[in-house]
Amino acid sequence: DAMVIQNPRYQVTQFGKPVTLSCSQTLNHNVMYWYQQKSSQAPKLLFHYYDKDFNNEADTPDNFQSRRPNTSFCFLDIRSPGLGDAAMYLCATSKGTGSIGVNTEAFFGQGTRLTVV
């Protein structure tokens, strides 16, 4: 059974039109991550939550925002998508060091492939 679920798997949006990608988890993990992955590149961390605490990466554009209304759900909002934002967006979760003193592996969803037209 899927433990980290991303919807939709494929998203087409118009240039400049706001779009939201969603992620849900059944693992009750404290940490949730959002990554952007372009073709033949490594996943690039955009931001992550440790519980409700939001941690933004310094080079993440302001165009990218995130919300985590509860433990299970996390959203990625792209306010004005440009052609350069077309990519695979990956969500992941992990238990977090605070809960058991060490962290454990991050579990990934299958990703949402975003196309901007």
Partner 1 sequence: GESVGLHLPTLSVQEGDNSIINCAYSNSASDYFIWYKQESGKGPQFIIDIRSNMDKRQGQRVTVLLNKTVKHLSLQIAATQPGDSAVYFCAENRSYNTDKLIFGTGTRLQVFP
Which residues contribute to the site for partner 1 (CB under 8 A)? Answer: 4, 31, 33, 35, 40-45, 48, 50, 53, 55, 90, 92, 94, 96-97, 102-111, 113
Determine how β-strand 64-67 pairs with β-strand 73-78: antiparallel
Closest to partner 1 by CB, 62 vs 105, is: 105
Strand partners, 87: 114
Residue closer to partner 1 (CB basis): 14 or 104 = 104
Residue 45 or 63: the one with the smaller Cβ distance to partner 1 is 45
For residues 77 and 67, give the distance between their C-alpha atoms in angstroms, rounded to a whole number: 8
Tell me how far, at minimum, the Cβ of 6 lies from partner 1, in Å: 8
Least distance from partner 1 to the Cβ atom of residue 38, Å: 9
Q: Which two tokens stand for residue 88?
A: 């695979």
Q: In angstroms, what is the minimal distance from the CB of 16 to partner 1? A: 27
Tally of CB atoms within 10 A around 64: 19
Nearer to partner 1, 30 or 65 (CB): 30
Alpha-carbon distance 36 to 16, whole Å? 18
| Six-digit token string for 23 | 């992620």
